[in-house]
Amino acid sequence: MAGWGAAEKQEKEGQTRSAAFPITFAGTVGLFTPAVTPSRGSAVLFLSPWGFEEMCVRKFWRILAEDLADIGISSLRFDYAGTGDALDIVDAGEGLLPWHETALAAATQLKALSGCERLILVSQGLGGTFAATLAERLAGIDGIAFLAPVVSGRAYLRELTVWSKMIDESMGLAEAQRQAEGVTVASLRMPDSAADAVKKLNLMTLDRLGTANCLVLTRPGRPGDSDLAHHLETLGADVAQASYEGYDDLVSNPTIATMPTQTGRKIVEWVQSVAVKTIEMASADLALPAAEPLIGEGFRETPLRFGADNRLFGILCEPQGARTGATALLLTTAYDRHAGWGRMSVTMARALARDGIASLRFDTANVGDSPPLSGAPEQVLYSREQHLDVVEALDLLERRALLPAYVVGRCSGGYLAFQTALGDARCRGLITVNPYSFHWDESRSVDEALRFAPRSLETYGRKLLQMETLKRLFGGQIDARSAICNMATGLGRRALRTARQLLGAFPIFAAAQGPVLNGFRTLARRGVDMSLIYSAHDIGLDHLHDEFGENGAGLKHFPDIRLTIIPEADHNLTPPYARKVYLREVREMGLRLGSR
C-alpha cells in the first residue's frame, strides 16, 4: 500500500520522492530521512522489533519517516547488529548488549546528521526495551512511543513460539522441515544469549524513566499493554494511550500487510505535539557524508540510492578481490525487504562475493525502503511499472561497468525476472525459483490471488491425511470454502492440461499457449542462460506443467534450460539443503556467464 500523508502529497504533486540517505556505522546500515521543512530541534530514532515483525513493519517505518520529514522532523532507522543488512556477529554470550550498543551508536549518528540535540524514540515490540534503556543512558530524550511493547519477556517468547508455528503452517512445512532449534521465526534465529536475556525482561519493574512524554499503543486482548501505560504514569510520565488499530493486519504477513493508516496518523500527531515543546532549533545545512562500505570476510557492501531522483534503495555487494563472474541482480519477493526471507539474499550475496561474484539487492518501488513511483498502481506486484525498477538497476550496473548481469528471483520476483529478461537484452541469464506464473492476466485481482493463494493438489492431499489438519478443519480454523475452491480449480486445470496435450497438435489450440512459450523461445534464441528451480509440491510447478505438459515434458524442446526439483522443500526454501541447491545454481551461472 502506498500509505498516507507523504504518499498522498506526492501523488498530488506528481513527484516521486527520493529514498532516504544511507549511512554506515558500527557495522550496520542506517537510513536517514532529513526534514524537508525547518526543524524544531527534535529528531526521531526508530527502534525496530525483532525478526519477522521487523520485516512486516519495514515499510511502515519508511512511510512514517517521510511524513515526519514533511512536518520538519528528521529521523533515522537502522538494523541491529547481526540483523538485516548489518554485518554478522558471533554470539559471544552478551545477551542484548550488542543491540543496545547499536541503538546508542544510532542515536549519536542521528544527532550529528540532523543537528538536533534532542530525540524522540519511536519503538515497536522488543524495540521498547532498547528505548527505555537509551533514555537512561542519554540526556535529551523528549519522548518514547511504545508500539505493541514487549512488557514481559517470557510472554513474548511464548508468543514467538506460537507465531513460528502459524508461519510454518501457512507455508505447508512438514514437522521434519521446521526449524526447532532455539527461538526461530520465519527462518530468523535469535541468538541464544539474547533469548536468555529476553526471558528476564519485565518493563513493569522499571523504577524510573528518562523522559517526560510517552505514547503507548495497545492491542486488544493484551492487558499488559495497558498495565504498562498505567505503570509509566506512576513514574511521572505524561502518558497518551491509544489503540493500535490495524496491528494484526500489519504483522500477519508482509505480502498482504495493510498499512495502519489511522495508527500512523496518531503517531505523527503525537510526535509533533512533543516536538513543538522544544525551543531549540536544529543546526542548518549539515553535509551528509557518502556511506562507507561495510567490510566483511571476502566482501564489501555499499548501501546506495539509484534511479531517477535517487528513488530506489539497495545494497551493492562486491568481492574484496578480483571479480570473476557476472553480476547477480537479486530481486525482492512480494513485499519482503531486500535482505530477503530469513536474510536469504544477504547470505547469498556475501557467499557469491567470496567466489568473485558481485550482486545488487534492492527494494522495488513501494516495497520496503523504496518510495512509491508516482502514477504507479498501489498494488505493484505483477504490474508493468515494476519492470522500470529493474531497468534502472541494470542502468546502475552498466554505469559501474558491472555487466554482464543475470536476474534472480523467487515467487513474484521470478515472474519479474522472466519479464525483465524478455524486455532487456542486458540480462544474460535468468534464474527463477517457485514462480507462481510467468505471465499475469491483468484482468485478475492480484490482492485476491495473494490472499487466497492455492496449493498443489499433492499438498492438499497430504494435509487432508494429517490429523491436525482435520481437527483445524472441523474446528473452523481453516477456510474450507477457499480450500475447496482451490482444489476444484486445481482439478479443473489438470483436466484442461490433459485436453490441451490431446489437442495441441492442432494449430488453433497450440496457439493458445502463446505468451509463456513464445517468451521462452525468445530467450532461447538470444542465448539467455536459464535455470528453473521448484520445490517438489509447489503450486508454481503445476503452472509449469500447464505450459509444458505433465512433468515438464515440453522442456525437451528447450535443451539449454535446466530444471531443478527440490524434494521436501516449501515455497520459501526453508530447509538448509534447499537453500544450498539455490545458491549452487546462482553461483554456477555467475561463473559460467563471467567466463564467456
Mean pLDDT over 498-518 rounds to: 55
Statement to judge: residues 233 and 358 lie in one domain: no
Domain count, the chain: 2
pLDDT tens digits, 69-82: 999 999 999 999 99
pLDDT tens digits, 530-577: 999 999 999 999 999 999 988 888 999 999 999 999 999 999 999 999
Most confident segment among 40-44, 469-473, 535-539: 535-539
Amino acid sitting at position 483: A
Q: Is residue 390 part of a domain?
A: yes
d(CA 538, CA 203): 44
The per-residue pLDDT for 333 is 96
Q: Is residue 436 part of a domain?
A: yes
Statement to judge: residues 249 and 365 lie in one domain: no
User: What are the Cα distances from residue 305, in Å, to 22, 296, 374, 594?
Assistant: 8, 21, 17, 26
Q: Are strands 28-33 and 21-25 parallel, antiparallel or unpaired?
A: antiparallel
First vs last Cα of the chain: how many Å apart? 42
The per-residue pLDDT for 449 is 85
Statement to judge: residues 230 and 305 lie in one domain: no
Amino acid sitting at position 195: A
Statement to judge: residues 45 and 124 lie in one domain: yes
In this structure, the number of other CB atoms found within 10 A of the CB of residue 443 comes to 5
pLDDT tens digits, 383-420: 999 999 999 999 999 999 999 999 999 999 999 999 99
The per-residue pLDDT for 285 is 61
Mean pLDDT over 419-444 rounds to: 95
The per-residue pLDDT for 504 is 46
Domain ends where: 224, 248, 275?
A: 275
How does the average pLDDT of the chain come out, rounded?
A: 89
The per-residue pLDDT for 233 is 98
| Residues of the chain above pLDDT 90, percent | 77
Q: Is residue 5 part of a domain?
A: no
Q: How confident is the model at residue 3 (pLDDT cuts 50, 70, 90)?
A: very low
Q: Is residue 469 part of a domain?
A: no
What's the pTM value of the predicted model, to 2 decimals?
Answer: 0.90
d(CA 379, CA 386): 10
Q: Is residue 257 part of a domain?
A: yes
Q: Is residue 416 part of a domain?
A: yes
CATH code of residue 578: 3.40.50.1820
Mean pLDDT over 328-354 rounds to: 98
Number of helices followed by number of strands (H, E) in the chain: 20, 19
Statement to judge: residues 79 and 123 lie in one domain: yes
d(CA 72, CA 38): 5
Statement to judge: residues 301 and 366 lie in one domain: yes
Q: Is residue 289 part of a domain?
A: no
pLDDT tens digits, 46-99: 999 999 999 999 999 999 999 999 999 999 999 999 999 999 999 999 999 999
Segments forming the whole domain that contains residue 530: 294-449+514-594
Statement to judge: residues 301 and 349 lie in one domain: yes
- Write out the three cell numbers for 26: 558500527
Statement to judge: residues 382 and 519 lie in one domain: yes
Statement to judge: residues 245 and 307 lie in one domain: no
Q: Is residue 458 part of a domain?
A: no
Torsion angle in degrees (nearest 10) through CA of 494, 495, 501, 503: -150
The per-residue pLDDT for 283 is 60
User: What are the Cα distances from residue 153, in Å, to 49, 165, 196, 224?
Assistant: 13, 19, 9, 11
Task: Considering only the C-alpha atoms of the chain, give the largest distance between any 2 of them, rounded to a whole number of Å.
Answer: 81
Statement to judge: residues 137 and 254 lie in one domain: yes
The per-residue pLDDT for 179 is 82
- Indicate if the pLDDT at residue 501 is higher than 70: no
Statement to judge: residues 218 and 326 lie in one domain: no
Torsion angle in degrees (nearest 10) through CA of 526, 529, 533, 538: -10
Q: How confident is the model at residue 454 (pLDDT cuts 50, 70, 90)?
A: low
- Indicate if the pLDDT at residue 176 is higher than 60: yes
Phi, psi torsion values for 132, nearest 5 degrees: -60, -40
pLDDT tens digits, 260-295: 999 999 999 999 999 987 666 666 566 788 899 999
Q: How confident is the model at residue 174 (pLDDT cuts 50, 70, 90)?
A: confident
Mean pLDDT over 491-506 rounds to: 46
Domain ends where: 212, 241, 275?
A: 275
Domain ends where: 246, 275, 304?
A: 275
Q: How confident is the model at residue 382 (pLDDT cuts 50, 70, 90)?
A: very high
The per-residue pLDDT for 149 is 99
Statement to judge: residues 233 and 380 lie in one domain: no
User: What are the Cα distances from residue 301, in Å, to 22, 350, 587?
Assistant: 12, 9, 18
**Stretch (H or E) spanning 592:** helix 576-594
Residue pointed to by grid coordinates 546508542: 104
- Indicate if the pLDDT at residue 518 is higher than 60: yes
